[in-house]
Structure 1
Amino acid sequence: MRTTFISTQTIQNSPRTSIIRLQQELTKTNTELVTGSRADIGLDYGVRSDASVELRNQKARYEAMIQNNTAVSIQLKTTENGLTDLRDNAQEFLDSLIALNDASASPGTLASDARSKLDSLISTLNVSDGRRYLFGGVQSGSAPMSNYADGAQASVITAFQTAFGGRTPDDTTISDITPADMETFLNGAFAAEFEEPAWGTNWSSASDEARSSAISPSETMTTSVSANETAMRKLAMAYTMVAEFSTSNLDPKTLEVVATKAREILGVAVNGLIDASTQMGSVQARITTVNDQMTKSTENLKSQISSFESVDPSEAKTKVDLLTTQIEMSYSLTSQIMKLSILNYV
């Protein structure tokens, strides 16, 4: 025969342990009823809870990429707008150059317009979205283009003086510069001002490498245009050429060489700008497609997570009611036991 030690305290404390367990279970079930999800995945599924963690991680990655793609899309749109402005200005100036031989065309007016277009080019290439300079390539922390007057202009004038006996474009004696001499200068010393190292020294601090962005877990695309692209250099070259050398001091035939070369360069630049805009447009279209795919994947993951983690509301409500009843019964029983004393039976 086995005997067990008993006392009034033991009898009174026994139901309390049960009440604590029931209260903990009620709290957990009530949370599930309110949220519609399991309160403790690890407790319910054990090692299988890793599946829930992986599903949530995948969903978080897709959501982060969709949000990042939204920011990239805004940058692309701003870049496309800038390229459109550059192209429109270049085409407008090209039309003006074509009309140079008209009686209404003035070299001085054309030079002034060229300088204005050059300043606009630099301003556009220095555009920022508030976080980075869009045409800076991977070196996007600072404005990529220097002001023309801060270094490039002096270098261009020095090149002209070196080629033409120390005379400046404003010198009245430059009328003896022949078309052949001007063409040699434009294709040689002047063109070198827009190549390395002069371009990096006097004009641009941008990187040749354009910025890229991961638009999906498995796909990375070029999402920017560098100020060092050939089209940008050609624009700067054409505008500078006309701004500095389109002067009535030149022989008309020599002046025509300047205009013809500028037209040729602008044509190349416009084609380059069209290509760049097309590329940015293609990236934008691809981002839209990828975002749609990731949005669908995110919805699918949400469904899987819900299926894995959700609880049946009616079942949870029934369990809450049952636990509440059990707790009330335990309290009632505890109250009755508290009134008992083993001394009443001695």
Structure 2
Amino acid sequence: MKTSFSSTHSIQTTLLQTMARAQNDLAKANEEVTTGVYADLGVELGAQTSRSLDLSRDMLRLESQMTTNSIATQRLTSSEEALSQLADISQGVMDSLVGLSSSSSTLDVARSTITSALNSFTDVANTSVSGEYLFSGTNSDVKPMLSYTEEGSPMAAAVDAELDTYLLSQGLTSASQMSAGQMSDFLTGLEATFNDDVFWSTYASQSSDTNITTRISATEVVDTSTNANSQGFRSFVFASVVSSKFLTNEIPEATRVSVTESATAAIGKAISGLNDQRSTIGLSTERVSKATGSLADQKSIIETHINELQGVDVYEASTRVSALQSLLEASYTLTSRIQQLSLVNYL
């Protein structure tokens, strides 16, 4: 009769191997419980791994596009709010001109109000969000509007030069000598000068005529900014400049009427132009919103497909975790007991 035996060393080796496998399986099961997807997609999906990768890439593309749209929406929303403020400032100038009388105190108040409005208009026009100026077009890193009222203003010097040239052509020495007809003629020419791109870009605006465009979907590109070269901006600055310069007691009342009429007509164009820009911005905002909604729907569909491919039964994974933990605990206990075996205890 032959007697067989098992050494404690072989049992310990087998247990250690079992524990190593159990620890590895436990780590994977814990990861699956936490993430809700297979720990090793290649092993679990096999031939469908490439489809899973394609869907994941599509998901990243959609998320990137939605982030881009979010940035565009922020710029559009900020631009719309700024344009609303500019329209309110323009309306304030309109109210001052409509309520204007010939008294000295009223003229001073109106001129002060309009000058203050011009400064406020310039400040709002130079608004920046996240380091980008809203009304600079593609020159988003450059402040768009130049100040008329600051000391040494090139725009103020250019307007004075235009006035001096006209006075010289009429044989006059000061604006106070201008008749209503001459003032009307001069302001018509000055307004045309403000509408000249060379003059405007040299003395009033550093904005680009080209707006920022953004691809908001695979097939759609929209303007997501506006600029300070529009008619609304030009007309407001012209109206404010001539009002602050010529609505004084030194100018004859009949001549001031020409100034008021010209400024009132210009500020009306400004309000209309600014509202047109707001409408354009609003349409772009709506298109971005619809595109983002469509992207969100596509993302939801892809997420469903990815979950069908990669998703695990979390309940089943949790059960495996519990079973593996029990196995490891039993292995630890048995290993401890085997290590305590010794012939000394039997001698």
TM-score scaled to structure 2, two decimals? 0.80
CA distance in 1 between counterparts of 2:22 and 2:68 reads: 47
* 3-state SS in 1 of match to 2:276: helix
Give the 3 Å change call, closer, same or farther, for CA 246–317 of structure 1 in structure 2.
Answer: closer
Matched residue type, 1:161? D
Question: What is the aligned partner in structure 2 of residue 306 from structure 1?
Answer: 307
* 3-state SS in 1 of match to 2:37: coil
Question: What is the aligned partner in structure 2 of residue 162 from structure 1?
Answer: 165
1:215–1:221 contact (8 Å) kept in structure 2: yes
Question: What is the aligned partner in structure 2 of residue 71 from structure 1?
Answer: 71
* 3-state SS in 1 of match to 2:62: helix
CA distance in 2 between counterparts of 1:189 and 1:307 reads: 69
1:89–1:117 contact (8 Å) kept in structure 2: yes
Matched residue type, 2:310? E
CA distance in 1 between counterparts of 2:268 and 2:105 reads: 20
What percentage of residue pairs aligned between the two structures are identical?
26
What is the CA-CA distance between 1:226 and the residue it aligns to?
0.2
What is the CA-CA distance between 1:202 and the residue it aligns to?
1.2
> 1:7-38, CA deviations, whole angstroms, 9 ceiling, x for partnerless residues?
x9xx8989987876666455434533443311
2:45–2:309 contact (8 Å) kept in structure 1: no
* 3-state SS in 2 of match to 1:164: helix
Task: Give the number of aligned pairs.
Answer: 330
Greater CA deviation, 253-262 or 56-65? 56-65
2:114–2:243 contact (8 Å) kept in structure 1: yes
Matched residue type, 2:220? E
2:214–2:221 contact (8 Å) kept in structure 1: yes
CA distance in 1 between counterparts of 2:70 and 2:88 reads: 27
Give the 3 Å change call, closer, same or farther, for CA 45–92 of structure 1 in structure 2.
Answer: same
* 3-state SS in 2 of match to 1:228: coil
Question: What is the aligned partner in structure 2 of residue 210 from structure 1?
Answer: 211
* 3-state SS in 2 of match to 1:213: strand
CA distance in 2 between counterparts of 1:193 and 1:279 reads: 23
Confirm or deny that 1:253 pairs with 2:272: no
> 1:33-88, CA deviations, whole angstroms, 9 ceiling, x for partnerless residues?
44331111123334421221222222223233333333333322221221112112
Confirm or deny that 1:88 pairs with 2:91: no
* 3-state SS in 2 of match to 1:73: helix
Give the 3 Å change call, closer, same or farther, for CA 34–190 of structure 1 in structure 2.
Answer: closer
Greater CA deviation, 58-67 or 111-120? 58-67
1:191–1:237 contact (8 Å) kept in structure 2: no
CA distance in 2 between counterparts of 1:325 and 1:130 reads: 55
Give the 3 Å change call, closer, same or farther, for CA 24–185 of structure 1 in structure 2.
Answer: same
Question: What is the aligned partner in structure 1 of residue 4 from structure 2?
Answer: none
Give the 3 Å change call, closer, same or farther, for CA 104–288 of structure 1 in structure 2.
Answer: farther
Confirm or deny that 1:130 pairs with 2:130: yes
Greater CA deviation, 266-275 or 186-195? 186-195
- Please give the root-mean-square deviation of Cα atoms over the aligned residues, in Å: 3.6
